[in-house]
């Protein structure tokens, strides 16, 4: 049986059949568990634009809070053909290629500092990029020949990161941000840029940030050279850093 052709100018959620709009949403309401709370969740889903909304799961979280999973049919569509998302422009090289690139075009060790800054204590992301063992078969920057990688860990104050960058004459700074409640990552990332500018070294380092809710577009808006989201590996970051160094003649 031939597959039904998708109209990319009118894309909508798919459940059982193409364009049926079936959607699942989950949320918590500050109301006690019961029939009234389920009805409240259903009505809220309808206001969200979901037709034939039904609550398929409700869980009592205690102290007057309830968690819901709701199904419904989305009637809206998106013109997928018009979407353009800013992406990091880099020709990703393998580890050995990055090492050869450093030797040929830079001729010295590249000093990279990585850290989870502010109050962020999540190190999984920065460890995957920096630590020697890396992640998912992709070695971290500590294993790269020609790279002097320093993983400063978590909850590193911006002032400390900047001081360390000056001390070690860093070529690049990698900042990981996972905690995003109340946009704390925005203020923290902005503060780092301001500190680097105050010290007069912003244009002397390649500044990169990463995290599950960070895009390249947002990173650029905040004054960074690049932003890497989920699914990025050490070679993606390494390739960008060394190519950017050569492009800006920082080597």
pLDDT digits (tens, 9 = 90+) for 196-234: 999 999 999 999 999 888 889 999 999 999 999 888 999
At 72, list the tokens: 């419904």
Please give the C-alpha separations between residue 2 and each of 5, 36, 165, in angstroms, as whole numbers: 9, 46, 59
Asked if residue 65 is part of any domain, the answer here is yes
In this structure, are 146 and 238 located in the same domain?
yes
Asked if 223 and 85 count as a contact pair (C-beta separation under 8 A), the reply is no
Query: pTM score, two decimals?
Result: 0.75
Asked whether residue 39 falls in the same domain as residue 108, the answer is no
Same domain, 103 and 201: yes
Domain count, the chain: 2
Q: Are residues 67 and 140 in the same domain?
A: no
- Which of 35, 59, 83 delimits the end of a domain? 83
Q: Where are the beta strands (DSSP E) in the chain?
A: 22-29, 50-62, 65-74, 110-116, 147-151, 172-176, 206-210, 226-228
Cα separation, 169 vs 79, whole angstroms: 47
Domain boundary among 83, 106, 141: 83
What is the span of the domain harbouring residue 101?
A: 95-247
Q: Within a domain: residue 89?
A: no
Bridge partner list, 208: 174, 226
- Per the annotation, the verdict on 59 as an active-site residue is no
Domain co-membership, 113 together with 53: no
Output the pLDDT for position 1.
42
Verify that 106 and 162 share a domain, yes or no.
yes
Residue from 10, 59, 87, 133 carrying the catalytic annotation = 133
* pLDDT given at position 3: 61
Whether 179 has a pLDDT exceeding 80, the answer reads: no
């Amino acid at each position: 049986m031939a597959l039904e052709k998708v109209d990319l100018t009118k894309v909508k959620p798919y459940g059982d059949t193409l364009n049926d709009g079936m959607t699942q949403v989950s949320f918590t309401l500050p109301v006690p568990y019961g029939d009234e709370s389920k009805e409240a969740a259903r009505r809220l889903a309808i206001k969200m634009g979901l037709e034939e909304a039904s609550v398929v799961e409700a869980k009592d979280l205690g102290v007057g809070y309830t968690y819901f999973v709701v199904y419904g049919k989305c009637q809206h569509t998106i013109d997928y053909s018009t979407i353009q998302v800013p992406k990091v422009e880099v020709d990703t090289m393998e580890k050995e290629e990055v090492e050869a690139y450093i030797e040929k075009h830079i001729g010295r060790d590249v000093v990279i500092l990585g850290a989870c800054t502010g109050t962020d204590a999540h190190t999984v992301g920065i460890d995957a990029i920096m630590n020697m063992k890396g992640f998912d078969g992709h070695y971290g920057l500590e294993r790269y020949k020609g790279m002097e990688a320093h993983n400063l860990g978590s909850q590193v104050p911006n002032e400390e990161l900047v001081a360390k960058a000056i001390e070690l004459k860093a070529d690049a700074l990698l900042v990981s941000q996972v905690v995003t409640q109340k946009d704390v990552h925005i203020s923290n990332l902005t503060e780092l840029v301001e500190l680097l500018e105050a010290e007069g070294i912003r244009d002397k380092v390649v500044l990169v940030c990463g995290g599950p809710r960070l895009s390249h577009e947002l990173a650029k808006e905040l004054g960074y050279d690049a932003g890497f989201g989920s699914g990025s590996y050490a070679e993606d970051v390494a390739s960008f850093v060394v190519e950017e160094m050569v492009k800006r003649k920082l080597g």
